[in-house]
Chain A
C-alpha cells in the first residue's frame, strides 16, 4: 500500500464559506487587477533606449513641455496585466457561447494556419498585381463560391461588415432607381428584421416604414402587400428572421415587390441556418450580405474584423461597387479599379473601401468552405438548426417559448419572460447564467417579444455540451419562477457583482483621471 506522504487530507478542503478577505483581494486563481494607468507610470519602460544627443530644436516653440501621461510597464508586467484581464473574460474557447455566431462560433484552427501562410499574410495591397495572383485568386474563388451558394449573379467583396454590406446593397438599389429615373423614397422594414436594417435605409436617405409581425413571429404578408406602391423602393427583410424563423412567404413577397417596381434586400446575417439548403436567388432576392464570421467561421466578437460581401441579382449587378477581381482569357487575375471601371462597370455606384476588402477573412472563409465542401456546409446548417431545436424543445416546459407552435425554429431558440415570479426578469436569468459559468444569451432582443432571450448554440456544440447548458438554464429559470431571492443579487461568483447598468449609461466614465483630479472634478 502506498501511503499519501504529501500531508494533504481531503478534510482540509471545504473553505467555500470562509469569511476571510485576503490581503491582496485575490481569491486564489481569481486575480484582482488594477487599471493600467494605476499600475504603470512614465518612469518605467519595456525597452532601454540610448540617451539622444542634444540637438537644436526646429519645432519653433512647439516642443512638448508636459508629460503626456502614458503609463509605462516592463514587458513582463505588460504580459501579466493583459493575461490577468483575459482570465476575467469568457470566450468561445472556454465553453458554449449562447450569443451564437453573431458574436463568435468555433474558429477552426486550419483557417488560422492557412491565413498565416506568408503568401497571404505578408502581401501589401499596393503590390504589383502580377506578384499577388494567389491572393487575387482567393478573392475570385471565394466570390465564385458565394455566388453559387446563394444562387445570385454577382458579388461585391469589399464591404467590411454586415451593416456595411447592407449599405452596399441599399446604395445599389438607390443607383438602380436613379438609373431608371424614378424617385421612390420609402423602404419597408418588417418588425422581424434586424435592427440595423432601418438604420441603413435611413442612412442612405430613405424614409423607413415598419411592417408589423404576425403573432407567429413572421412578416404580416397582407400588411406588406397592401403597402406596396410607386413610392416604395424596396423591402429589407431578414431571413431567417430575428425570431429564429424562416420567412416562408419570401418568394411571394419578392414577386409582389418586383411587380410593384421595387427591389428586395435580404439581410443574410443568418445565412448560416440555410447555407447549402436554400439559395436566396431562387427566392427573388436582389441583394444580400453575408457575414463571413457567422456562416464561414471567421473570428469576430473582439477576435477579428468583420467582412460582409454582398451578393447581387442580375438587376443590381451593374451598380456594384469597385474594386472587384476579374479573370482574363489567359487565366490571369486583374483587380478592376477606377481607371478601368469605366469600361468594365460604367454604372458602378462607386467605392466603399480603400482596398479590396478583408483579405485575412477571405483566406479563412475560403479554407472553411474548401475543408467542408458542399456537403459539409449543408451539414453546418442542419446541425445549427438541430441544436437550436434541441434547446427549444428541452426548455419549453420551463421557459415560455412564444413561437414554439410556429413549427421548428431555425438556428436560434427564442424565449420570453412570461410566467416568472413577481419581480423577476430576463436580466436576473442572464445574471444567474454567469454564476453557472456561461456567457448570457442575447437578451431583450428581438423587441417583438417581451423580455426576449435568444439562444443560438451553433453547430459545433456536442449533445453533452448542450445538455450541460440546458441543465444550467433550466436550473436558473426554475429559480426565477420560484422567486429565489439569491438570484436577484446574482452573479455571486463573477469577478464583480451585479453592475449598475443604468448609472453606467446615464453617467458614463470614459476617460481615466488621476485620483486627485477625479476628486477635484466631483
Chain B
C-alpha cells in the first residue's frame, strides 16, 4: 500500500485498484474543530480535482477534492455521528471514502510523504 498526497491537502492510500481518501493532519489543524462532514454516496463518480466531499468547521465550509478519478465504493458513516474523528485521527479513523481507481496513471502527479512535508513547510 502506498500513500500519496495532493496540494489540496487530501491523502490517498492505494492498494491495487482500491483506494482510501481523507484529509491531512495539516488540513484539519487549519480547519479547526470539524462539525459536519458530507461524504459521497456509494456509486458516485468522482473526477480528479473535482468536488467529492464537504467538510465544515466552526470557521468555514470547504470542499474536499478527489485526488484521482474513480467510483466511490464506501463513505465513512462514522463521520456522520462523530465528525470530530477528522480532528483526532485525520489520517486513520477519520478517512472520508473508498473508491475504485479509474486510471492508476493519475497517481503520477501526486506527492509522497516527504514531498508533502516539504510543501507544507513552504505554506
Which of the residues A444, A445, A447, A502 comes within 8 Å of B35, measured between beta carbons?
Answer: A502
> A505 near B60 (CB under 8 angstroms)?
no
> B59 near A444 (CB under 8 angstroms)?
yes
Q: Is A109 at the interface (CB under 8 A from chain B)?
A: no
- The answer for the CA separation of A505 and B58 in the assembled complex, in Å, is 7
> A502 near B59 (CB under 8 angstroms)?
no
> Which residues of chain B have C-beta atoms less than 8 A from A505's C-beta?
33, 35-36, 56, 58
> Which residues of chain B have C-beta atoms less than 8 A from A444's C-beta?
59-60
Residue of B nearest to A501 (CB): B58
- The answer for the CA separation of A125 and B98 in the assembled complex, in Å, is 56
Q: A505-B35, A505-B36, A506-B35 are in contact. Are A447 and B60 (CB under 8 A)?
A: yes
Query: What are the interface flags for A434-456 relative to B under an 8 Å C-beta threshold, 1 for contact and 0 otherwise?
Result: 00000000001101000000000
Q: State the total of A-B contacts with C-beta under 8 angstroms.
A: 18
Interface size on A, residues (CB 8 A): 7
Within 8 A of A (CB), among B30-65: 33, 35-36, 56, 58-60
- The answer for the CA separation of A319 and B59 in the assembled complex, in Å, is 38
> Which residues of chain A have C-beta atoms less than 8 A from B14's C-beta?
none
- The answer for the CA separation of A401 and B84 in the assembled complex, in Å, is 32
CB distance from A447 to the nearest CB of B (A): 6
Residue of A nearest to B62 (CB): A447
- The answer for the CA separation of A73 and B49 in the assembled complex, in Å, is 57
Residue of A nearest to B61 (CB): A195
- The answer for the CA separation of A501 and B84 in the assembled complex, in Å, is 13
Q: Is B83 at the interface (CB under 8 A from chain A)?
A: yes
Residue of A nearest to B58 (CB): A501
> Which residues of chain A have C-beta atoms less than 8 A from B36's C-beta?
505-506
> Which residues of chain A have C-beta atoms less than 8 A from B60's C-beta?
444-445, 447
CB distance from A479 to the nearest CB of B (A): 21
- The answer for the CA separation of A444 and B56 in the assembled complex, in Å, is 13
- The answer for the CA separation of A502 and B36 in the assembled complex, in Å, is 10
CB distance from B50 to the nearest CB of A (A): 10
- The answer for the CA separation of A501 and B35 in the assembled complex, in Å, is 10
- The answer for the CA separation of A102 and B93 in the assembled complex, in Å, is 40
Query: What are the interface flags for A493-510 relative to B under an 8 Å C-beta threshold, 1 for contact and 0 otherwise?
Result: 000000001100110000
CB distance from A47 to the nearest CB of B (A): 43
> A506 near B59 (CB under 8 angstroms)?
no
Query: What are the interface flags for A406-419 relative to B under an 8 Å C-beta threshold, 1 for contact and 0 otherwise?
Result: 00000000000000
CB distance from B39 to the nearest CB of A (A): 16
> Which residues of chain A have C-beta atoms less than 8 A from B56's C-beta?
505
CB distance from B31 to the nearest CB of A (A): 11
> Which residues of chain B have C-beta atoms less than 8 A from A447's C-beta?
60
> Which residues of chain A have C-beta atoms less than 8 A from B35's C-beta?
502, 505-506
- The answer for the CA separation of A505 and B37 in the assembled complex, in Å, is 12
| Residue from B56, B59, B83, B84 with most neighbouring chain A CB atoms (10 Å) | B59
CB distance from A1 to the nearest CB of B (A): 61
CB distance from B120 to the nearest CB of A (A): 14
Query: What are the interface flags for B62-85 relative to A under an 8 Å C-beta threshold, 1 for contact and 0 otherwise?
Result: 000000000000000000000110
Residue of B nearest to A505 (CB): B35
- The answer for the CA separation of A479 and B59 in the assembled complex, in Å, is 22
CB distance from B47 to the nearest CB of A (A): 12
| Residue from B33, B56, B84 with most neighbouring chain A CB atoms (10 Å) | B33
Within 8 A of A (CB), among B78-101: 83-84
CB distance from A499 to the nearest CB of B (A): 11
Within 8 A of B (CB), among A471-521: 501-502, 505-506
> Which residues of chain B have C-beta atoms less than 8 A from A506's C-beta?
35-36, 83-84
- The answer for the CA separation of A502 and B84 in the assembled complex, in Å, is 10
> Which residues of chain B have C-beta atoms less than 8 A from A501's C-beta?
33, 58
- The answer for the CA separation of A24 and B62 in the assembled complex, in Å, is 45
Residue of B nearest to A210 (CB): B63
Residue of A nearest to B30 (CB): A450
Residue of B nearest to A444 (CB): B59
CB distance from B28 to the nearest CB of A (A): 13
- The answer for the CA separation of A447 and B57 in the assembled complex, in Å, is 13
> Which residues of chain A have C-beta atoms less than 8 A from B84's C-beta?
506
Within 8 A of A (CB), among B1-45: 33, 35-36
- Given A444-B60, A502-B35, A505-B58, 10 further pairs, Cβ under 8 A: A447-B60, A501-B33, A501-B58, A502-B33, A502-B58, A505-B33, A505-B35, A505-B36, A505-B56, A506-B35
12 pairs of residues in contact across A and B, judged by CB atoms under 8 Å: A444-B59, A444-B60, A445-B60, A447-B60, A501-B33, A502-B33, A502-B35, A502-B58, A505-B35, A505-B58, A506-B35, A506-B36
Which 10 pairs between the two chains have the least Cβ-Cβ distance? Answer: A505-B35, A502-B33, A444-B59, A501-B58, A506-B35, A502-B58, A505-B58, A447-B60, A444-B60, A502-B35
